Amino acid sequence: MGLILLAVIWLITLISTYFFIAKTWWLPAGASAAAAGIDHHFTTTYILMGIVFVAAQLALGFFVWKYREGGSSPKVHYSHGHTGLEIVWTLLTTVLFVGLNLATYPLWSAERFNAAGPSAIPVEVTGMQFAWYFRYPGPDGKFGATRPELEDASAGGEAALGLDTKDPASKDDVVTGTMVVPVNREIEVILRAHDVIHSFFIPQMRFKQDAVPGLAIHMHFTPIQTGDFEILCAELCGLGHYKMHGMLKVVSQEEFDQWLAAREAEKQ
């Protein structure tokens, strides 16, 4: 029986390892400045954790066989273990996990949690059951005021956000259901939630951040490839969660300027 268990454990380990190695990459092609660094970290983590996983499972199979009932090995009596070994593998585990965390600090601090640069394009992103709305400040560079008592989610657009049309700064605000940004420009995302926690997720941009009611969360990313990219909600936010998605369109600077000008002209 011990030999059969060894064979089963090793077979499962080798087959599962093969499927991880055979699939060249698990994520869609990256399209942001941060993607290469994030992908490198994922690769490093897969390799290190893969080595630990294979070594642990091979050792498990060996010990199941070696200390099987009726085997030639002496009977194992209960023991509190080896203090020295306990210290060694606890330290190794600590070094591994803390080291991986520290290795990503420059990436996350630069691309996510540091303030966006002065030339970044601000886009307010609001999640509500079950849609995404995107607001641009217009030529004045200021977002108009919003008021909770003016919010009407069923009306969509500016009404859904509760935009105060009496505020002069709101006159040129543009609200759309599609996020359009220029390529190779830093995009400052101001995340808000209307009702429950949502999660703004663009896989190709390697961008994922929760939107929390009552908070304005500032983050940023830089798209480096034009195209259309699906925006998902990665937080279970209600019965309509499955249909909560939007579209990010990354275009040239000229196309973006024309698009924004056309949206502002529609408000006249």
User: What is the predicted pLDDT for the residue at 189?
Assistant: 95
Reduced to 3 states, what is the DSSP secondary structure of residue 260?
helix
**pTM (whole model) above 0.75:** yes
Pairwise CA distance, residues 139 & 147, whole Å: 22
Give me the mean pLDDT over the 87-105 stretch: 87
Give pLDDT tens digits for 233-259. Answer: 999 999 999 999 999 999 999 999 999
**Mind listing the pLDDT tens digit for each residue in 16-30?**
888 888 776 778 899
Q: Using the predicted structure, report yes or no on whether residue 106 has a pLDDT greater than 60.
A: yes
Amino acid 24: pLDDT: 63
Residues 170-207: tens digit of each pLDDT: 888 999 999 999 999 999 999 999 999 999 999 999 99
The arithmetic mean of pLDDT across residues 129-144, rounded, is: 91
Least reliable range by pLDDT among 71-75, 134-138, 232-236, 250-254: 71-75
Nearest by Cα to 132 from 182, 32, 84, 199: 199
Confirm if 215 and 235 have CB atoms less than 8 A apart. no
